[in-house]
């Protein structure tokens, strides 16, 4: 019997198996479907090989009965999804005029040219297939349903196209079948504290909070504490998740900075906007990463004035008024330099908050007293500047990201009154 | 019969199915194993559910015979990989003293504390399992081999730990079994040209170059053209890939900026270093992203002096000497402002190359004549400043990344003498 709130995903493409591409579509599908109570119960990835595609989809249909495939819908010879699944469902490929019209319109408007004959391939669809409109691209989605109601929905591999089709067509289609039982998760995001220390605060052996299973998800931003409510009514799930979040937040206190997919830059920007604060950055080892993370948030221009990428020491001196003597005496990675960078960022821009970061991101440049990963972070809030030293583990990218995360967390703690 | 140069991967964890985590381990494994001729022929992802883990591994063992699992080796109750696969291979869990010693040493040295009893869980290993040392973390890898030589190698899910174990243990182990036939790929990376236009240059229908299959891989950096040599000797593969690369580069010309995993920032930094050039950036809509991408490269400090994040117009005027009149007349997203930003970046820092980026990253702020995605990029090389306008598609993050990529490509083309 068909489980209407479960789905398997089969992602198709040599580039996925070869590791040329990170499979972000699987993440998008899982999140969007999970939010409407549809659980992705298994995922398979196969190459552009007819037997492997057919095998993976056949197994998934037998196991779960509802399958979504991504990729292999393009106009080229290695795009096998349409013919292979047509055969699996015993359908022939027929030319669909609505798809032809869509392709011609798209070429005329966006791509400003006549339709290449190769792309007419994409108008060949399995007989009786439901067309899933693709507002963003050329390859339409296709859905085949057999007599028992088992279905495979074929989506293109281009993330932007898949996201648009998910919103426009798939979420409504699945929501209509899934009924009123939902799967909901909530993550309390923490940073600056180790998984084991969190476990102590929550009760070392505790794997259940407010009756919901608790998972520790360590990541580059910190450790997310995620509880999951399965197969409940929306009201029950919401109530249980609210209880669990309250319990977790009481246990971890100010280490919790956000919920679910809210990011640290979003949190800091909201705090600043509510208080009328503005931010300027002075970045050495992060080289612009902190500014990039802040300005990635739409509307950040209301808070972020700008800043200085002070990679070379001359820039620290000229643009941020860092003392050459302190650079000579204490080195670029030092408390006085970090403090002067934060103050300089404020002074230059007139921002109410200045952030200075200077450190050793590696792989080279470390020493015994300043190993790779050593970072000084200073935060100047309305003229009160404080500095913090840390040594981060990981590679260059991880050290830089952790430094930017910690810098924003210091700002957050200062603004909510939990600053060191 | 066991195919020694093929492997299936089973990644384990609710967070993967829920879309909380992007499965980068699968990418790492595919790349590293592919380089020594071991093909990942299928990948499955299952949740922390005993039956699903056992089922996926059983199927993969029956199909391919060699399996790598990631995840589920932690100390907590939802870490099921060890007990489930022990049962699948008919083994009992026994305490391994070498693992206990490793855990105690690790806690004493890095984590500075006594070993929590919960972590002793990780010292329970399937009877007869081979221990795969984990130099970076607590969870050791484990390998079980049955009478027919079918094997499963269990690795932890933490990317840094997995990478270290792959280098230290797995690559040598697989290389020893795989024999002298290799799988090698080569990608010629292009940017600033559409997939269809590349197809025209290469011969629209051409899916084979120098006897090797050709794949088009569009991504945020541009379109990578990848050829794959399978089941050849290393010499034959290298020769075929060299021929294919030559043919592709002749066809696409200056659109090709790099090979394989070399990035645009690396290319530009190498060109600059070879010529003794230095770079300063002036970023508005990218907010530091360009600087962050450049300084992500180790050793970039030899070329990158720094720059200005000129998010607010006041910063453009004060720090980059952008004309307030031009801002008023033409707006911040305009040719004169971009040119003045590039010149200002050079003037402030004394760099030989200045880059200015100003645009509308969205989602708001667009207009009829300046839609979201409109970006002006200016590059000043030794006082010769030129500006370029483009309209990029995608969301805010994609527009910002494409703008940074295009800016670096303009620098590259200027330095190799193909600049507009």
- Rounded to the nearest angstrom, the minimum Cα separation between A103 and chain B is 14
Task: Give how far the C-alpha of residue B72 lies from the chain's centroid of Cα atoms, to the nearest Å.
Answer: 24
Going by C-alpha positions, the residue among A37, A38, A36, A54 that lies closest to residue A46 is A54
Residues of A in Cβ contact (< 8 Å) with B294 = 287-288
Do residue A20 and residue B44 have CB atoms under 8 angstroms apart?
no
Do residue B315 and residue A349 have CB atoms under 8 angstroms apart?
yes
- Is residue A59 packed enough to be buried (19+ CB in 10 Å), middle (13-18) or exposed (0-12)? middle
Going by C-alpha positions, the residue among B121, B381, B306 that lies closest to residue A344 is B306
Do residue A300 and residue B287 have CB atoms under 8 angstroms apart?
yes
- Calculate Rg over the CA atoms of chain A: 26
Q: Name the β-bridge partners of A187.
A: A226
- Rounded to the nearest angstrom, the minimum Cα separation between A36 and chain B is 12
Mind spelling out the 3-state secondary structure of B375-388? EEEEEEECCEEEEE
Q: Best of B22, B63, B220, B288 to disrupt the A interface by mutation (most A CBs within 10 Å)?
A: B288
At residue A230, φ and ψ (nearest 5 deg) are: -110, 145
Domain residue ranges of chain B, discontinuous segments joined by +? 6-175, 182-259, 264-415
Q: Best of A110, A205, A228, A292 to disrupt the B interface by mutation (most B CBs within 10 Å)?
A: A292
- Rounded to the nearest angstrom, the minimum Cα separation between A111 and chain B is 10
Q: What is the ipTM of this complex?
A: 0.80
Do residue B24 and residue A23 have CB atoms under 8 angstroms apart?
no
What CATH architecture applies to the domain B182-259?
2-Layer Sandwich (3.30)
Out of A15, A301, A308, name the one closest to residue B306 (CB).
Answer: A308
User: Running along chain B, 420 residues long, what does each successive block of 10 average in pLDDT?
Assistant: 83 87 86 84 94 95 95 83 95 91 78 72 90 86 94 93 90 80 88 89 81 85 90 91 96 96 96 98 98 97 97 95 97 98 96 98 92 96 97 92 98 88
Fold topology of B6-175: Molybdenum Cofactor Biosythetic Enzyme; Chain A (3.40.980)
Cα(A306)–Cα(A348) distance, integer angstroms: 10
- Rounded to the nearest angstrom, the minimum Cα separation between B418 and chain A is 25
- Ranges of residues in chain A with a pLDDT under 50 are none
Angle between helices A335-349 and A313-320 (to 10 degrees): 50
- Rounded to the nearest angstrom, the minimum Cα separation between A196 and chain B is 9
Spatial contact of A25 and A159, defined as CB atoms under 8 Å apart = yes
Q: Name the β-bridge partners of A126.
A: A93
For chains A and B, what is the number of CB pairs under 8 angstroms? 282
Out of B14, B187, B194, name the one closest to residue A215 (CB).
Answer: B14
The CA distances from residue A419 to A150, A336, A385, B152, in Å, are 56, 19, 11, 48
* Residue numbers of A between 96 and 155 with CB closer than 8 Å to B: 111, 116, 118
pLDDT (tens digit, 9 = 90+) per residue, B204-214?
A: 667 789 899 88
- Is residue A148 packed enough to be buried (19+ CB in 10 Å), middle (13-18) or exposed (0-12)? exposed
**CB contact, 8 Å: B419 with chain A?**
no
Instruction: Give B42's Cβ-side CA count (13 Å radius).
Output: 24
Nearest CA in chain B to A299: B364
What's the whole-model pTM score? 0.81
Residues of B in Cβ contact (< 8 Å) with A357 = none
Nearest CA in chain B to A280: B309
Q: Best of A20, A31, A80, A227 to disrupt the B interface by mutation (most B CBs within 10 Å)?
A: A20
- Rounded to the nearest angstrom, the minimum Cα separation between B144 and chain A is 23
Do residue B215 and residue A306 have CB atoms under 8 angstroms apart?
no
Q: Name the β-bridge partners of B69.
A: B10, B154
Residues of A in Cβ contact (< 8 Å) with B209 = none
Residues of A in Cβ contact (< 8 Å) with B312 = 301, 304-306, 349
**CB contact, 8 Å: B305 with chain A?**
yes
Pick one of 3.90.950.20, 3.40.50.970, 1.25.40.10, 1.20.1340.10 as the CATH number of A264-415: 3.90.950.20
Q: What is the DSSP letter of A170?
A: I
Do residue B204 and residue A19 have CB atoms under 8 angstroms apart?
no
Q: How many residues does chain B have?
A: 420
Structure confidence at residue B3 (pLDDT):
73
Q: Name the β-bridge partners of B224.
A: B189, B217
* Residue numbers of B between 7 and 26 with CB closer than 8 Å to A: 14-24, 26
Out of A309, A348, A396, name the one closest to residue B288 (CB).
Answer: A309
Angle between helices B396-416 and B264-275 (to 10 degrees): 30
Write the CB contacts of B146 (distance below 8 Å, at least 6 apart in sequence): B89
Do residue A15 and residue B348 have CB atoms under 8 angstroms apart?
no
Nearest CA in chain A to B189: A20
The answer to whether the peptide bond before residue B283 is cis (omega within 30 degrees of 0) is no
Do residue A397 and residue B43 have CB atoms under 8 angstroms apart?
no
- Rounded to the nearest angstrom, the minimum Cα separation between A329 and chain B is 21
Cα(B324)–Cα(B337) distance, integer angstroms: 9
Nearest CA in chain A to B110: A393
Query: How crowded is residue A403: how many other Cβ atoms within 10 Å of its Cβ?
Result: 27
- Calculate Rg over the CA atoms of chain B: 26
Structure confidence at residue A21 (pLDDT):
77
Structure confidence at residue B185 (pLDDT):
85
**CB contact, 8 Å: A51 with chain B?**
no
**CB contact, 8 Å: A37 with chain B?**
no
Do residue A40 and residue B34 have CB atoms under 8 angstroms apart?
no
């Amino acid at each position: 019997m068909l489980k209407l709130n479960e789905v398997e995903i089969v992602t198709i493409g040599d580039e996925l198996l070869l590791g040329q591409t990170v499979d972000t579509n699987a993440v998008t599908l899982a999140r969007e479907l999970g939010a409407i109570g549809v659980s992705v119960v298994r995922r398979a990835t196969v190459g552009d090989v007819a037997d492997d595609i057919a095998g993976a989809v056949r197994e998934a249909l037998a196991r779960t009965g509802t399958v979504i495939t991504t990729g292999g819908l393009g106009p080229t010879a290695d795009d096998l999804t349409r013919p292979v699944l047509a055969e699996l469902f015993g359908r022939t490929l027929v030319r669909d005029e609505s798809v032809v019209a869509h392709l011609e319109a798209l070429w005329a408007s966006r791509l400003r040219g006549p339709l290449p004959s190769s792309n007419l391939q994409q108008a060949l669809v399995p007989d009786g297939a439901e067309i899933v409109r693709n507002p963003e691209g050329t390859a339409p989605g296709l859905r085949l349903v057999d007599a028992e109601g088992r279905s495979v929905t074929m989506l293109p591999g281009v993330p932007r196209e898949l996201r648009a089709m998910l919103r426009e067509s798939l979420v409504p289609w699945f929501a209509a079948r899934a009924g009123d039982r939902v799967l909901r998760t909530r993550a309390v995001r923490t940073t600056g504290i180790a998984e084991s220390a969190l476990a102590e605060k929550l009760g070392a052996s505790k794997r259940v909070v407010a009756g919901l299973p608790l998972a520790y998800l360590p990541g580059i931003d910190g450790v997310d504490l995620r509880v999951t409510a399965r197969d409940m009514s929306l009201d029950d799930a919401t109530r249980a998740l609210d209880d669990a979040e309250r319990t977790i937040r009481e246990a971890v206190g100010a280490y919790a900075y956000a919920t679910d997919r809210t990011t640290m830059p979003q949190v800091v920007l909201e705090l600043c906007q509510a208080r009328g604060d503005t931010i300027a950055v002075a970045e050495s080892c992060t080289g612009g990463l902190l500014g990039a993370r802040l300005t990635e948030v739409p509307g950040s221009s209301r808070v972020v004035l700008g800043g200085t990428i002070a990679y070379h020491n001359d820039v620290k001196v000229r643009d941020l008024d860092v003392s050459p003597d302190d650079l000579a005496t204490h080195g670029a990675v030092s408390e006085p330099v970090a403090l002067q960078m934060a103050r300089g960022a404020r002074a230059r821009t007139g921002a109410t908050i200045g952030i200075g970061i200077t450190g050793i991101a590696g792989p080279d440049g470390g020493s015994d007293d300043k190993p790779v990963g050593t970072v000084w972070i200073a935060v100047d809030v309305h003229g009160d500047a404080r500095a913090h030293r840390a040594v981060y583990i990981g590679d260059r990218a991880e050290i830089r990201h952790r430094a930017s995360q910690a810098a924003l967390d210091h700002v957050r703690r200062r603004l909510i009154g939990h600053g060191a």
